[in-house]
Amino acid sequence: DAGVIQSPRHEVTEMGQEVTLRCKPISGHNSLFWYRQTMMRGLELLIYFNNNVPIDDSGMPEDRFSAKMPNASFSTLKIQPSEPRDSAVYFCASSFDRYSNQPQHFGDGTRLSIL
């Protein structure tokens, strides 16, 4: 079975540009999570969706960040405008939450560098 698929794997862009990260969760999973990983702050939960609805976006750092989940098989995380401090590895994870104890499965991440 295919795991969580993220694209692109690497992104290098100049500050001020719009960045869009993409995620395809595991088929049948109905919870989706976006994380950011940096050396300074470790793994931080940015936002999570349940049944395509954003449940908690309290981890989104500021209004420059937005996330959408238009359907059960696709989500995007957008940064506009991007800044150098947004450089990090962004992970998407999904889980099947019907029984509230299912683990999250992670994608391989998108390594983002803002110059």
Partner 1 sequence: AQSVTQPDIHITVSEGASLELRCNYSYGATPYLFWYVQSPGQGLQLLLKYFSGDTLVQGIKGFEAEFKRSQSSFNLRKPSVHWSDAAEYFCAVGYGGATNKLIFGTGTLLAVQP
Binding site for partner 1 (CB under 8 A): 4, 31, 33, 42-43, 45, 48, 50, 55-56, 91, 93, 95, 97-98, 100-109
In the bound state with partner 1, the residue whose beta carbon lies nearer, of 31 and 75, is 31
- Residue matched to tokens 């939450």: 97
Give the number of other CB atoms < 10 A from CB of residue 59: 15
Quote the least distance from Cβ 1 to partner 1, whole Å.
Answer: 14
In the bound state with partner 1, the residue whose beta carbon lies nearer, of 59 and 64, is 59
Cα separation of 79 and 84, whole Å?
Answer: 11
Quote the least distance from Cβ 36 to partner 1, whole Å.
Answer: 11
Cα separation of 57 and 60, whole Å?
Answer: 6
By the 8 A CB rule, do 55 and 48 touch?
A: yes
In the bound state with partner 1, the residue whose beta carbon lies nearer, of 37 and 64, is 37
Quote the least distance from Cβ 31 to partner 1, whole Å.
Answer: 6
Specify the DSSP class assigned to residue 83.
Answer: -
In the bound state with partner 1, the residue whose beta carbon lies nearer, of 64 and 68, is 68
Quote the least distance from Cβ 50 to partner 1, whole Å.
Answer: 6
Q: Which residues contact 104 (CB under 8 A, 6 or more apart)?
A: 31, 33, 93, 94, 95
